[in-house]
Amino acid sequence: MSTRPPISVRRPARPTDPAPSATMPIAHSPIPNIDPDAAEAVAFSMRGRLTAPEGDAAGRKSAAPEPPAAELPHPDEGLPYPTPTQTTRDGDPSQLPAKLTGEEPDSAVREHALAADWISVKLPPEVGRQLAAIADRRGSKRTLVAIEALSEPLRSLAAAHRAGAFPELPKVVSGTVRSSIAFALPPNLSADLDYVLRVRRAVRAQVVTRLLAPAIGALFDLEVAGRSK
């Protein structure tokens, strides 16, 4: 049994706020050696929300202050200085970077990216969830599933128009909350879509959304809901 320690006449010290210590710097990642133009990198980026195209913010900040000329690379170095008037309009493949670092684009993927027909649509949230579930179950990507889902109904619609019919499009009800998706349409489907739009005098996003939403629903029933029962 331990004995009581001798009585102390000094009060114990109170904890004090820790003195500010020298801050240890964080580790920096190296700059990754990636090709920002690779199709998958572009697809990853395009899952983000597109900002308003130029012209939507009419008259806003037409001239941001430019750095001193001495700070800028020489124009011959092939680096376009990104001023507000030189920003890239999203979704317009003709505005994708053609030559920024002086390197010639040499990959087939890049050629495809430049030639691709970019689609950006908003889907009802339930359809967005179904699309994500299909991609997740497959271990695939939303964009790839969307292209696959769109293929058959778009080809059928184009074929029907070529045969002289004018089919009704499925109704898609969407609230204010929507799930966005953007992807590059393969050239053959792009031709079909262009034909349909021309014949129907329709709006691209309307046609794509109204074909895509029910197709995703059907695919979801087949691959996810049907198999989870």
Partner 1 sequence: MILVCGGVKGGTGKTTTAVNIGVERARRGAKVLLVDADPDQESLTDYVANRDERGAQPGLNVVQVKGTTTSKTLLALAKEYSDIIVDCGGFDSVELRQAVLVCQVWIVPLNPTQMQVWTMPKLKELLDGANAYRGDAQLTAYLLGMRLSTNSLNRARADLETVAAEFEGFGVLSTVVHQRAAFERAEALGLAVTELDKPSESDRKARDAITRLHDELFGEAAAESGALANVD
Let me know: does 50 contact 91? Beta carbons within 8 Å. Answer: yes
Min dist. Cβ of residue 137 to partner 1 (A): 17
Q: Which two tokens stand for residue 174?
A: 């969407």
Residue 90 touching partner 1 (CB under 8 A) = yes
Q: Which of 7, 13, 19, 31 binds partner 1 (CB under 8 A)?
A: 31
Show the DSSP H helices in 107-229 as ranges: 108-115, 125-138, 142-162, 187-200, 204-220, 226-228
Closest distance to partner 1 from the beta carbon of 37 (Å): 7
Q: Based on CB atoms, which residue is closest to partner 1, 41 or 199?
A: 41
User: What gap in Å lies between CA 157 and CA 8, rounded to an integer?
Assistant: 93
Q: Does 128 bind partner 1 (CB under 8 A)?
A: no
- What does the CA dihedral 134, 137, 141, 145 come to, rounded to 10 degrees? -30
Q: Which of 16, 101, 176, 228 binds partner 1 (CB under 8 A)?
A: 101
Q: Evaluate the CA torsion angle 73, 76, 78, 82 in order and state its sign.
A: positive
* Residues whose CB is less than 8 angstroms from the CB of residue 162 and which lie 6 or more positions away in sequence, other chains included: 195
For 11, 32, 89, 113, 114, the CA distances from 103, given in Å and listed in that order, are 73, 17, 22, 16, 15
Binding residue for partner 1, selected from 7, 13, 19, 26, defined by CB under 8 A: 26
Backbone angles phi, psi at 122, to 5 degrees: -110, 130
Contact flag: residue 47 with partner 1 (CB under 8 A): yes
- Smaller CB separation from partner 1, 36 or 167: 36
Please state the closest distance from residue 169 (CB atom) to partner 1, in A.
28
Binding flag, residue 36, partner 1 (CB under 8 A): yes
Q: Does 94 bind partner 1 (CB under 8 A)?
A: no
> Which part of the chain contacts partner 1 (CB under 8 A), choosing from 83-91, 142-150, 154-162, 194-202?
83-91
- Using CB under 8 A, pick the residue from 18, 30, 55, 75 that binds partner 1: 30
The one among 39, 97, 148, 195 contacting partner 1 by CB under 8 A: 97
Neighbours of 25 (CB within 10 A): 6
Select from 209, 217, 212 the least CA-distant residue to 121: 209
Q: In the range 148-207, which residues lie near partner 1 by CB under 8 A?
A: none
* Site residues for partner 1 per CB under 8 A: 20, 22-34, 36-38, 40-42, 44-52, 57, 60-61, 64-65, 67-68, 71, 73, 79, 81-84, 87-90, 95-97, 100-101
